[in-house]
């Protein structure tokens, strides 16, 4: 910045060293002050062309009445004549936007070189930019926030612009007062989230701009994370139907009731969910009784089925591209149901077990709607059709002429509106199916008389040793060689009758066992403790001898009163070995028929 003249001196002579004028120049500035250089300029007049002042020139200078130079003596050479020269300079710090009065004087002893002048000048207000002083670190897009900043100098304005890498300048705010309240408009939010349909939050840039007129002169850059709030998708509308005709018939309604563990619940979306703030629906998640199934939002069919549903409540959750969720549930009332079952079943031939008709009886659980049965030779094919029995029956006589020489299997089936249950029973033969003849042959009654044939032996085997039988002998020949069938040898095992404590086919036991301390009978070990002596009262002491039996932990068995602090115990004995756990036995060969 160039120097500016403040005032003209009042000296009109032509002597050397006259003060001509005062001037100033702004050297630098801060936000509140200037550094100003003040100087006054003299003129070496024509009459003083050869003058040289030696330590006889005095200066004085004041600013707003305060002296910054008051009588400084200096040596000056005023030659050559007829030129302007800077006599003196002063650097001062002054505030913005104020008026300052200055005065100066000068005196030289070599001539009439005394002069003075005074005047004033104004320092302008420094043009300042606007900067951010307080702002949120995070921002929920549906909320408003207080935003603070410095006000720029007159002639300048502030503006906030929000931008990101995918949504350029999506919002702006003109700022005139601080603090200001800022909030995103619906349009700003739409522009932002349309660029980020899968983001729950995004970091954006705050450009705090200062303008002079329409020209941007400064930017204060900041950043903030904006979160997408209140953006859960709309709830879907679902319909739940029991598509199992049997359970729907039992409950009387396919849309309001169900049977736990039997109904098949189909859940279909009748009205789709809609994403918010540019999000899209990605999938629907259905849950029923701990079972979860997913369907992509773009699938052709938006329905799932839960077979044997474990609950009447179906929940459907819509999930959008940001992972936001909205759930809706629908509940069908669970109707109590006890499935039918056959608890016991028995069959016997009529006529004291010799007839060709069979009486079938049973007990059941539940409320049957009817029974049916099939029959056929034991191990053979059942009848092709079924025979119905009334729902109230608990026994029936079957009149199918059951061959007295054959065994039959009868299968009873009970049903209700939802389920069925079956149980089978075998009816034995009515008379002995074989005969030993005088000539040594075996005759077996069947559809035809069998003599000394493989079929005859098979019939005998099945009658005497059906599958599951145990064969015992002191001979080590596998019975498959003379009886037929398949047998597995049993080794190192006793047989014991089945009971509630021993299930059929279970194994256990041990041939030897080592007793634990808890298993031993309570007992003690007496021992001789030997002869002992004690000093018995009196000045000289009296020796008393006694022999006593002692047990560890107990006082001696005599009438002497003693003071005993420690007890002895007997030495341990025994080897902790296992002992034989076997009853008297006879070892034989045993086989079990498996086929």
Mean pLDDT for the stretch of residues 126-134: 88
What is the domain count for the chain?
5
Is 572 inside a domain boundary?
A: no
- The pLDDT of residue 51 is 47
Total residues found in the chain within this entry: 595
Q: Domain check: are 113 and 8 in the same one?
A: yes
Q: Domain check: are 329 and 248 in the same one?
A: yes
Least confident of 84-93, 102-111, 255-264: 102-111
Q: Domain check: are 289 and 382 in the same one?
A: no
The span from the CA of 53 to the CA of 279, in Å, is 90
Q: Which of 71-85, 149-163, 239-253, 402-416 has the highest mean pLDDT?
A: 239-253
Mean pLDDT for the stretch of residues 223-251: 97
Residue 450 reports pLDDT greater than 80: no
Residues with Cβ < 8 Å from 2, sequence gap 6 or more? 25
User: Smallest Cα–Cα separation from 425: which of 363, 346, 343?
Assistant: 346
Q: Domain check: are 101 and 148 in the same one?
A: no
The span from the CA of 115 to the CA of 7, in Å, is 13
Task: Tell me the residue range of the domain where 374 lies.
Answer: 341-427
Q: Domain check: are 163 and 247 in the same one?
A: no
Is 172 inside a domain boundary?
A: yes
Q: How high does pLDDT run on average in the chain?
A: 83
Percent of the chain with pLDDT over 70: 78
Task: Write the CATH number for 396.
Answer: 2.60.40.10
Is 272 inside a domain boundary?
A: yes
Residue 449 reports pLDDT greater than 50: no
Mean pLDDT for the stretch of residues 432-443: 59
Q: 3-class DSSP state for residue 461? A: helix
Q: Edge-to-edge strand order for the sheet containing 408-415?
A: 387-389, 370-377, 408-415, 420-427
Mean pLDDT for the stretch of residues 350-365: 89
Quote the tokens at residue 573: 């004995």
Is 48 inside a domain boundary?
A: yes
Q: Domain check: are 306 and 356 in the same one?
A: no
Q: Domain check: are 403 and 386 in the same one?
A: yes
- The residue out of 122, 157, 181 marking a domain boundary is 122
* 311 pLDDT tier (thresholds 50, 70, 90): very high
Pairing verdict, β 257-258 and 333-334: parallel
- The pLDDT of residue 15 is 54
Q: Which DSSP string corresponds to 346-394?
A: EEEEHHHHTSSSEEEEEEEES--SEEEEEEEETTSPPPSS-EEE-TT-S
Torsion of Cα atoms, 135 then 136 then 140 then 143, to 10°: -50
The span from the CA of 374 to the CA of 281, in Å, is 56
Mean pLDDT for the stretch of residues 459-487: 83
- The pLDDT of residue 69 is 83
Is 525 inside a domain boundary?
A: no
170 sits in which H/E element: none
Q: Domain check: are 330 and 384 in the same one?
A: no
Is 74 inside a domain boundary?
A: yes
Q: Domain check: are 449 and 416 in the same one?
A: no
Q: Which DSSP string corresponds to 530-543?
A: EEEEEEESSSS-EE
Q: Which residue has the tokens 């801060």?
A: 30
Is 361 inside a domain boundary?
A: yes
Q: Domain check: are 313 and 276 in the same one?
A: yes
Residue 381 reports pLDDT greater than 50: yes
- The number of helix segments (H) and strand segments (E) in the chain equals 4, 42
- The residue out of 297, 313, 334 marking a domain boundary is 334
Task: Write the CATH number for 95.
Answer: 2.60.40
Q: Name the percent of the chain in helix, strand, coil, to the closest 5.
A: 5, 45, 45
- The residue out of 227, 246, 281 marking a domain boundary is 227
Q: 3-class DSSP state for residue 248? A: helix
Q: 3-class DSSP state for residue 481? A: helix
Q: Domain check: are 389 and 459 in the same one?
A: no
The span from the CA of 192 to the CA of 178, in Å, is 26
Is 509 inside a domain boundary?
A: no
Q: Domain check: are 388 and 407 in the same one?
A: yes
């Amino acid at each position: 910045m160039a120097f500016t003249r403040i005032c003209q001196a009042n000296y009109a002579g032509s002597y050397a060293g006259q003060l001509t004028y005062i001037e100033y120049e702004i050297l630098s500035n801060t936000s509140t002050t200037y550094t100003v250089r003040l100087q006054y300029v003299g003129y070496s007049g024509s009459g003083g062309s050869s003058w040289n002042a030696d330590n006889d020139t005095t200066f004085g200078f004041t600013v707003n009445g305060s002296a910054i130079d008051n009588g400084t003596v200096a040596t000056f050479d005023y030659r050559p004549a007829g030129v302007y020269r800077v006599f003196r300079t002063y650097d001062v710090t002054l505030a913005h936007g104020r008026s300052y009065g200055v005065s100066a004087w000068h005196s030289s002893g070599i001539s009439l070189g005394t002069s003075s002048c005074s005047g004033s000048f104004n320092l302008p207000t420094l043009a300042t930019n606007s900067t951010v002083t307080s702002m949120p670190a995070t921002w929920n897009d549906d909320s408003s926030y207080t935003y603070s900043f410095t006000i720029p100098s007159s002639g300048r304005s502030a503006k906030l612009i929000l931008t990101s890498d995918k949504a350029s300048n999506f919002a702006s705010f003109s700022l005139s007062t601080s603090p200001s309240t800022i909030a995103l408009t619906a349009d700003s939010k739409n522009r932002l989230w349309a660029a980020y349909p899968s983001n729950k939050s995004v970091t954006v840039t705050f450009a705090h701009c200062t303008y002079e007129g329409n020209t941007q002169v400064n930017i204060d850059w900041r950043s903030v994370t904006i979160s997408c709030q209140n953006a859960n998708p709309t709830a879907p509308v679902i319909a739940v139907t029991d598509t199992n005709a049997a359970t729907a018939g039992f409950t009387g309604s396919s849309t309001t009731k169900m049977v736990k563990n039997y109904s098949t619940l189909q859940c279909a979306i009748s009205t789709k969910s809609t994403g918010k703030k540019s999000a899209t629906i990605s999938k629907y998640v259905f849950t029923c009784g701990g079972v979860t199934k997913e369907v992509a939002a773009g699938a052709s069919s938006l329905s799932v089925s839960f077979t044997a549903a474990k609950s009447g409540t179906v929940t459907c959750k819509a999930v959008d591209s940001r992972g936001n969720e909205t759930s809706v549930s629908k509940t069908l009332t669970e109707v109590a149901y006890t499935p039918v079952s056959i608890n016991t079943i028995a069959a016997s031939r009529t006529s004291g077990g010799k007839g060709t008709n069979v009486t079938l009886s049973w007990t059941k659980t539940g409320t049957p709607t009817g029974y049916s049965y099939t029959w056929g030779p034991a191990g053979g094919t059942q009848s092709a059709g079924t025979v119905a029995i009334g729902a109230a029956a608990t026994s029936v006589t079957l009149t199918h002429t059951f061959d007295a020489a054959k065994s039959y299997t009868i299968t009873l089936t009970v049903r209700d509106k939802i389920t069925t249950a079956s149980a089978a029973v075998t009816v034995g033969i009515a008379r002995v199916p074989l005969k030993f003849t005088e000539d040594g042959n075996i005759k077996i009654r069947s559809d035809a008389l069998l003599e000394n044939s493989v079929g005859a032996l098979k019939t005998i085997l099945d009658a005497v040793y059906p599958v599951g039988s145990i064969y015992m002998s002191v001979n080590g020949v596998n019975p498959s060689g003379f009886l037929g069938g398949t047998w597995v040898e049993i080794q190192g095992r006793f047989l014991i009758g089945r009971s509630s404590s021993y299930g059929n086919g279970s194994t256990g036991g041990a041939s030897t066992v080592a007793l634990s301390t808890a298993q031993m009978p309570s007992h003690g070990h007496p021992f001789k403790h030997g002869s002992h002596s004690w000093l018995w009262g009196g000045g000289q002491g009296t020796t008393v001898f006694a022999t006593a039996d002692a047990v560890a932990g107990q006082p001696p068995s005599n009438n002497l009163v003693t003071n005993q602090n420690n007890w002895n115990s007997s030495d341990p004995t025994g080897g902790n070995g296992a002992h034989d756990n076997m009853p008297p036995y006879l070892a034989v060969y045993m086989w079990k028929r498996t086929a």
